[in-house]
Structure 1
């Protein structure tokens, strides 16, 4: 066992004696949560693995939850821990999916993974586990927790390519105090090595991608089941019609695929020097119009300021803003970018980036960092 892993877990739990401490691990059937459960057992915890079913749909069965459930149960048996199954589908639809649909109906692009973490995995799941008598919950997220004085900090993972702190920025002090992230100090390649070495059959299982309730289906086809199609026009910035669309709700800023205008030759003189792909640059919800530009570098897609609301600070306090430089990102797969925080109040803020950012999208989250400390963030509007 890697000594660095041991020390991380012991410090995270604030107590060297783990023998009688019960931790429930959210097991998805993937390699990350499987190795997380094994590490916890190796560190002396009493471990229960729990598989959460978060989506149920009579019309479609996009999620591979049955296969994932079998994988999780098999791993639990292999490493010698108790295993349970719980259905949180109702809670997921009420607390995540309903908000997801509402945001899309308003022309915004929400992030269901962030909603799922804040409302299901670290609220409904946490409450359920505490009622079982658990002291902690654990997941296979790549992030770290550090206690400084009486405060808990959320830190980036050591493996920055896999760091998932972006998805966890809405966690609060109570949730962090009850959580363990066993993989925060380990690289993904090492996780797979551990899984193979201890004989886990899923050591090379492909990482899950996309949204569970959509699966392999077309995203727009899925949305059509819930949001009516309303055909409109696609215009250039100077008002020339170049195509049609089926409703602004089905498109997001910066979107390139699925516009149906890739072969348009007679484009506006405004973009006459550009011969690349078309991108969604602006949406007019009231008039049901999409404006497209034929350049990823167009000024409408590259801006240095954003405004955000529904602000959450992990340590419950506003950061200093006078002359302070921080870093932030508006998408998960994005490098942090230097910025300043402006016009800060209880529930709104403005962020000014040193360099322009591409396709800042209403409904997405902006997450703010002070070096490797995730301070919090908000919803872009």
Structure 2
């Protein structure tokens, strides 16, 4: 049997009796001998055969038809390719992936056979959307919040399908991240002061304000030393070491917080065991440390292996530490030479204020702050709080209408301080 092309450019196959089959269309590959037609795009080198030519009535046509039929019978069947599902409106199309590549989202592989199909597609598109967001030149918190919400819904459904509790935990974290991101976006655009007041950009979200008050309460109750200088150092170092139990400090930090008392306070905290300095590092050495070579201090009660007094992420920790640093290092407070107790009072009033700046306790109706609690945090006697509140008024931190009658501290943050409000 021989094969070739006729005058019309069509493929012919010679039968054993020298007849030809006409009208067989050419494929993409070479034609081999032995009566078998193979095409290069078929599995294993062949493909589905061309259709048999109609009988022409000439000798050899039956033989040719038999040869073509043999091709049909011997070719491997090719499964139909699964069409890519159409993305939902506004979604990111799931990209085709090379063999051996898995779709991933949040460092998890999306199984190729995950059912229902719409869930698999959503998880695949979600992973692509997060990666696309990371490549954006500028962040868009509204877009990021929407991605977190989609992730929360998708992972919750994935958990229902598989019964994997870790997926539900991931969904819960995504829901919390969505809420925090929306609050951050609102803060960036400004949180209104009252119903008709101006928009004010805030440093903390409401959730971060809650964490700030938790840290302040921890310092109030658990400070190892009662003096205001020690309490201020405990507050600032706690915010540095809140997540891992260790934090970096420099001589500039310590001197800025405590002025001339820094070495004495640091040594006192080390002596009572609340603070651990590195081996062969003294308090004086820590005061000499520079930003390029800070001193790493350890707070044993905050080491993760111990029961933790509070839990928050690294972004929140950095935000809280920056917030406290802005308060303690306020330019007008420095100009007025405010001492540690006055600075602690500034921190406490900022954390316990409402969006309009009015002071109030958690869950209370805006009738100020309990003097006993304020004094305990600041290392003062209750009767001394009014004096330090007056210093804050002089520094433009509190508005002038400050009142300490009835064992309550009532007042309002000055307008310039509203961005630092804890948003009760």
TM interval, shorter chain, is: under 0.3
Q: TM-score, normalised by structure 1?
A: 0.25
Greater helix proportion = 2
Relative contact order higher in (CA < 8 Å, ≥ 6 apart)? 1
